[in-house]
Structures are given as C-alpha cells and as structure tokens.
Amino acid sequence: MNHLLFLGNIGAGEIIVIALVVLLLFGGKKIPELMKGIGKGIRSFKDGMNNIERDIENSDQNDRQTPPKQQQ
C-alpha cells in the first residue's frame, strides 16, 4: 500500500530524479529559502487552526456558564 496521493507506486529512483530536477530548476541557494517559506506557511496554518479550536472551546465554556435568559 505504497500510494502517494495520485502518484501510484513511487520509488527511491523517482524521488531522486524529482529532487535533481528541482535542484536544476531552482538552484542550490534558492531551495533553503523555499523550504523556509513553506515552513512559515505551515506554522501559520497550525497557529490559525489552534486559534479556531481555542475560540470554539471558549464559546462552549461561555455558553455553559451563562444561564439562559427567561422570556417575559
């Protein structure tokens, strides 16, 4: 069951070829900058997800603590 998304069976040889093509296209100096940008994007996404989860938990706690208003 070695399926990587839609790529099917991908082996070490194919990964090496892809890495070489990326190295040729972007160059050795540009790749660390690209990886740094991807890392920042992932970190920002995780922070956003954590903030959303925290907001949901806080709203649930506030709903439980606040007694319902009585209608007159």
Task: Output 5 or 31, whichever has higher pLDDT.
Answer: 31
DSSP 12-70: HHHHHHHHHHHHHHH-TTHHHHHHHHHHHHHHHHHHHHHHHHHHHHHHHHHHHHSPPPP
Confidence of residue 16 (pLDDT cuts 50, 70, 90): very high
pLDDT digits (tens, 9 = 90+) for 25-69: 888 888 888 889 999 999 999 999 999 999 888 887 777 776 666
